[in-house]
Amino acid sequence: MDTYDVVVVGGGPAGEVVADRAVRAGMTAVVVEAEAVGGECSYRACVPSKALLRPGAARSAARAVDGARQAVTAGLDPARVLVRRDRFTGRGDDTGQAAWLTGAGITLVRGHGRLAGERRVQVTGADGTERILAAHRAVVVCTGTEPALPPVEGIDRIGVWTSRQATTADAVPGRLVVIGGGVVACETATAWSSLGSAVTLLVRDHALLTGWEPCAGEEVLRGLGDLGVTVRFGVSAVRVARDEDTRAVTVHTDDGTALVCDELLAAVGRRPRTADLGLDRVGLPAGDWLPVDDTCRVTGVAGDWLYAVGDVNHRAPLTHMAKYQARACAAAIAERAAGRPAPTGGREPWSAEADRFAVPQAVFTCPEVASVGLTERAARAAGLAVRTVEYRVDDVAGAALHTDDPRGHAKLVVDETRGVVVGCTLTGPMATELIHAATVAVVGEIPLDRLWHAVPAFPTVSEVWLRLLEAYGL
């Protein structure tokens, strides 16, 4: 049995950061990974999806500026787009990522890890051999999530696409049907339609991006329409089948229609990868999310040795927030190992708290949309004294210079009691880059009358901040 200070189960972004920070703090760490070091984000999610989306966005940006438009006379080259994507993902080859672990002083053990009791992890290798790893300080679960399938007859038998196939496919489907109306559905529809697919979205709800401010879904819907994507609201798939000869898929819907496509993507959410994690060995139900405190310590497990970081704890399932939690978690483990308790009656300075009130999100559709903090609806539900301020990005001089089609929307949610921004949603040019300024304002709880002195450069799209504050009355 090999003993380390910290045993990390899962070698994605969260696991890598936890292990690295633990080693930097003077502890020993081992990462257990059954698939590829770097995880879902590196090979089948964030990185390849953005690589697929960027060429279409670049072409659209050029086509939206007179003088550049005339130089862009052809469509995208799908083959070159896929080659570029593969440069970023290495087609799943984790040699470089594994070498990084070694260089950082982290041990890598390949195999499937399961909890085997307190501070124990059983690892089963690809050849069936087993070994036990012991943790002197902590075991950290970073197993992430996997795509969930909707309750549609036949969907588990036809080779349906999930987010994994949608980002790694080697050919452009002529016809693609997408079940869902969230971020994955909208980004996938944008990417493949820009590459030539005829895309149809089947959206059970009556809006896209339903957890966002309404303006976000409305702007994305407009953009999808400009790309030729068909969006059908209030419709659900009920039965699917694939023809054995043509390989075409027929999707039957609850309104009595049938759609024929080459591929079907299910983009309806994700579930935790905890079904085969050995949770029953520590008194937790298999297959569940792992509830944690602000240091990512799993609640309900005695001994303060089990932690869960990233998507698996369901606090803020985004790569950047997983890394944020990982930094906090590793610091907490190190501080506790050194015997430094939290201040009496106060919060531990290494706690992760932004994932409860200041989570930045970016959607790389055309137009882009981004948000941070609370929506108006959530702020009112929380009992805040809410005032909202809105401004059209179209009316910002810097946006008009940036593109001849600067359509977009900006919305602030203000807590009037404290005079601070608690939420922001942006759509349109540079939205995914502009959102960090809002994140700083929300996390820093900067009073609006002080924020007024943060002068945006002219002529930039960031001037929307000045316009929003003027609309507020400053």
pLDDT at 341 over 70: no
Partners of 414 in the β-ladder: 387, 421
- Residue span(s) of the chain under CATH 3.30.390.30 come to 367-472
Q: Are 89 and 43 in contact (CB under 8 A)?
A: yes
Question: Angle of helix 13-24 relative to helix 95-103, nearest 10 degrees?
Answer: 20
pLDDT of residue 342: 64
First-to-last C-alpha distance (Å) of the chain: 65
Q: What is the 3-state secondary structure (H, E, C) of the chain?
A: CEEEEEEEECCCHHHHHHHHHHHHCCCCEEEEECCCCCHHHHHHCHHHHHHHHHHHHHHHHHHCCCCCHHHCCCCCCHHHHHHHHHHHHHHHCCHHHHHHHHHCCCEEEECEEEECCCCEEEEECCCCCEEEEEEEEEEEECCCEEECCCCCECCCCCCCECHHHHHHCCCCCCEEEEECCCHHHHHHHHHHHHCCCEEEEEECCCCCCCCCCHHHHHHHHHHHHHCCCEEEECCCEEEEEECCCCCCEEEEECCCCEEEECEEEECCCEEECCCCCCHHHHCCCCCCCCCECCCCEECCCCCCCEEECCHHHCCCCCHHHHHHHHHHHHHHHHHHHCCCCCCCCCCCCCCCCHHHCCCCEEECCCCCEEEEECCHHHHHHCCCCEEEEEEEHHHCHHHHHHCCCCCCEEEEEEECCCCEEEEEEEECCCHHHHHHHHHHHHHHCCEHHHHCCCCCCCCCHHHHHHHHHHHHCC
| Biggest alpha carbon–alpha carbon distance for the chain | 70
Range list for CATH 3.50.50.60 in the chain: 2-38+94-146+271-354, 163-268
Q: What is the CATH number of domain 163-268?
A: 3.50.50.60
2-38+94-146+271-354: which CATH topology? Answer: FAD/NAD(P)-binding domain (3.50.50)
What is the mean pLDDT of the segment spanning 76-93? 97
- What HEC string does 145-173 produce? EEECCCCCECCCCCCCECHHHHHHCCCCC
CA 148 vs. chain centroid, Å, equals 15
Mean pLDDT of the chain: 96
pLDDT in tens, 115-149: 999 999 999 999 999 999 999 999 999 999 999 99
How many alpha carbons lie under 13 Å from residue 106 in its C-beta half-sphere? Answer: 31
- In b/e form, how buried is each residue of 409-420, taking b as 16+ CB within 10 angstroms? bbbbbbbeeebb
Q: What does the pLDDT read at residue 350?
A: 74
Report pLDDT for 246: 95
Q: Is the pLDDT of residue 349 over 90?
A: no
Neighbouring residues of 169: CB distance < 8 A, sequence distance ≥ 6: 161, 263
Is pTM, for the whole model, over 0.75?
Answer: yes
Q: What is the pLDDT of residues 361-400, one digit of tens each?
A: 999 999 999 999 999 999 999 999 999 999 999 999 999 9
Note the CATH number of domain 367-472: 3.30.390.30
Strands 306-308 and 130-141, how do they pair? Answer: parallel
CA distance 343 to 348: 7
Write down the pLDDT at residue 1: 78
Kindly state the percentage of the chain with pLDDT values over 90: 95
Cα gap 30→6, rounded to integer Å: 7
Band of residue 344 on the pLDDT scale cut at 50, 70, 90 = low
Phi, psi of 290 (to 5 degrees): -105, 105
Q: What local confidence, expressed as pLDDT, does residue 340 receive?
A: 75
172-214 pLDDT, tens digit each: 999 999 999 999 999 999 999 999 999 999 999 999 999 999 9
Could you tell me which residues come within 8 angstroms of residue 442 by beta carbon, excluding any fewer than 6 positions away?
357, 358, 372, 373, 420, 421, 422, 423, 424
In the chain, what percentage of residues exceed pLDDT 70?
98
Parallel, antiparallel or unpaired: strands 145-147 and 270-272: antiparallel
Q: Say how many CA atoms lie within 13 Å of 174 toward its Cβ.
A: 6
For residue 347, what pLDDT band results from cuts at 50, 70 and 90?
low
Residue 346: which pLDDT band, with cuts at 50, 70 and 90? low
Measured distance CA(187)–CA(205) in Å, rounded: 17
**pLDDT exceeds 90 at position 104:** yes
- Distance of alpha carbon 223 from alpha carbon 213, whole angstroms: 16
Give CA–CA dist 93/103, Å, rounded.
18
Residue-wise pLDDT tens digits, 146-166? 999 999 999 999 999 999 999
pLDDT for 351 equals 86
* Predicted confidence band of residue 339 (pLDDT cuts 50, 70, 90): confident
